[in-house]
Structure 1
């Protein structure tokens, strides 16, 4: 699904795919796409980001950050020309109130790495790494924004584990700041979003769940939304049993199990009489 969207974006370019000339958060006509979830626009200092007017197809990643300070303090800091940092969004923990500070088509200075600033959108969440208990309101609002970003720019709604690809052009997904690679392709020295950030809960919300309970139960009939590999065990490195096509029907037999940034279900694919593990985000009710 996202792969098809990304292919379309690359064919059409930014103008054809997302419609230039929309009304931005400031209320003035611009070439920027309006985010329906941001509550206000407060511009970062112009010296803290690059006015690049990126194409939609060049935005591959969403990077999750934690502010290490207050919401108001973070917004103020990104307006300070001495900070030399920025992010597209800053979010308040208590209620999810969101300030957009850099247009998504422009390049915020938040990630570093080899070229991750150029190919990502950064979201700062109010709090302290490993200390803050993030609220349901924050998780839900952030998930709304991230889901919209993924739909708008063709970003994969997945959370890869481990360090991200050295070249940001060679992948797509939703990652923490700590996963952005250094120039030597290894881990950086950041730790956000930290141990109190619930990735499973957050990714469930991003993918349309309610963050609680499971999407399927044993006995549910499902079909893939795209050609889908089913594997011997949960995990992207496991042997492929079969590639299942949309319209083929399977029965949920086991799961879920979270592995490699995905939620996996054991499915008996009835048309082929094969059993394997398949990724939840590519399954829908049959």
Structure 2
């Protein structure tokens, strides 16, 4: 889903207290910088890098950088366009709009590339994720997913992602190949407006089979018990859930409730609403997504067919019937235990003292959740970069702009709720 927020809550990065003084990254290239397997015959349709007007802060539609050296590349973000392919291409060619890395066409899986991978697109609604991710827009509409998400497009997308993960050393896991719906808000104010594509009808299990990493890999079929890690894995074709005001089959999530009963209210995502989550498509608060991993807090209900996991600081119960289980145990998953009351964060930014200019400092911005000591969460990345890439002008060179800065604070990236989150290393232990 194309993120209309552009850079409105952009934030940047620093490598230690040292500031890179290398020249501004050169935008011009000798020939199209095609980055993908030859078999896809990728078309080069460049996104413009232009200043519009006399003000150097008015430019588009992406930022110049030096990835993967600075910032690093650690994720792939899957989007859908909510537009036709042709209209999407028109949008990415506008200098006053925004850019992403690739667009994939529905009917035949054709791929167009728009950015040199070293540069940063404006696609995720969270600058930290923009800094570290490649964005793939898939032609389609999330509420009509089945008719848009064709076999041809799945196959092209999987071939491209497999290539990119191999080239840039991005782990082929569900914590690193994610949906836009799993990108966290940078602070409480922005959570409710975060996008929710590719939506409930994107078949993550099939996608990872095409990636050559089936989501059953590394799991066992034993019944979960307390302190186990479970990976959410419903049968996509048979999975039936309440969604958009009706009961639908063929969705990628399991509903989370406050107690072990189908009549219990859904869990609350305080970043979206103080009330139990709804079935509205944009309300992902009570959806345990296929491939996400959580630590079991309790097992109960009739015949012990209900499982509670730690989720946004509370127990989230889901039905896991013995005859048709929706989760599998992950014996070798890495977890952390909360040791100090905390809230979590939507990004891993440097401490204030790391910034060379006080006007660059980004707020810490804790999320509105309460994680108590003893709760446990599954680790996605034990040492994400603590950084902020400062890029606010069209062409100001370092050290005035286009500076990559990192701090000394350390974080751990975890499956926090439906969306990912960051916990300070000082608040947890392995």
TM interval, shorter chain, is: 0.5 to 0.7
Q: Distance in 1 between matches of 2:173 and 2:326?
A: 12
Partner of 1:237, secondary structure, is strand
Partner of 2:150: 135
1:178 aligns with 2:185: no
Is the 1:65–1:193 Cα contact (8 Å) retained in structure 2? yes
Q: Which residue of 2 aligns with 1:78?
A: 92
* Distance (Å, rounded) in 1 between the aligned partners of 2:155 and 2:329: 22
Q: Which runs of 4+ in 1 moved over 3 A?
A: 26-30, 185-188, 231-236, 256-259, 263-267
- Contact 2:184/2:194 (8 A) holds in 1: no
Q: 2:80 aligns with which of 63, 66, 71?
A: 66
- What residue number does 2:206 align with? 201
Give, in whole Å, the separation in 2 of the partners of 1:188 and 1:155. 28
- Quickly say closer, same or farther: Cα 1:266–1:181, change in 2 above 3 A: closer
Three-state SS of the structure 2 residue aligned to 1:117 is helix
Match of 1:153 in 2: 168
- Residues 142-176 of structure 1, C-alpha deviations (whole Å, 9 max, x = no match): 0111111111111121113xxxxxxxxxxxx0111
Equivalent residues of 2:108, 2:153 under 8 A apart: yes
Structure with more helix by fraction: 1
Distance of 1:187 and 1:204 partners within structure 2 = 32
Distance in structure 2 (CA, Å) of the matches to 1:42 and 1:124: 14
C-alpha distance in 2 between matches for 1:79 and 1:138: 22
Match of residue 46 from structure 2: 43
Superposition pairs of residues 1-286 of structure 1, within 5 angstroms: 28=30, 34-36=35-37, 37=40, 39-46=42-49, 47-55=60-68, 58-82=72-96, 84-133=97-146, 134-160=149-175, 173-184=176-187, 186=191, 188-207=193-212, 232=228, 234=230, 235=293, 237=295, 259=327
Deviation of residue 29 (structure 1)? 6.0
Cα gap change, 1:33/1:130 in structure 2, threshold over 3 Å: closer, same or farther? same
SS for the counterpart of 2:134 is: strand
Structure 1 residue 188: Cα displacement: 4.3
Give unpaired runs (5+ residues) of structure 2. 1-27, 50-59, 221-226, 231-292, 298-323, 333-430
8 Å contact kept, 1:180–1:187: no
Q: Identify the structure with bigger relative contact order (alpha carbons < 8 Å, sequence gap 6+).
A: 2
Whether the 8 Å CA contact 1:65–1:122 is kept in 2: the answer is yes
Distance 1:38 1:53 in 2: 25
Normalising by structure 1, we get a TM-score of: 0.59
For the residue of structure 1 that corresponds to 2:195, the secondary structure is coil
State the SS of the aligned residue for 1:72.
helix
Distance 1:193 1:38, change over 3 A: farther
Distance of 1:41 and 1:91 partners within structure 2? 12
Distance in 2 of aligned mates of 1:143 and 1:257? 27
Which structure: larger Rg?
2
The Cα shift of 1:132 comes to 2.9
Gaps of 5+ in 1: 1-25, 161-172, 219-230, 240-255, 268-286
- 1:232 deviates by 4.8
Q: What is the alpha-carbon distance in structure 1 between the residues aligned to residue 82 and residue 152 of structure 2?
A: 19
Rounded Cα–Cα distance in structure 1 between residues aligned with 2:62 and 2:127: 16
2:336 maps to which residue? Answer: none
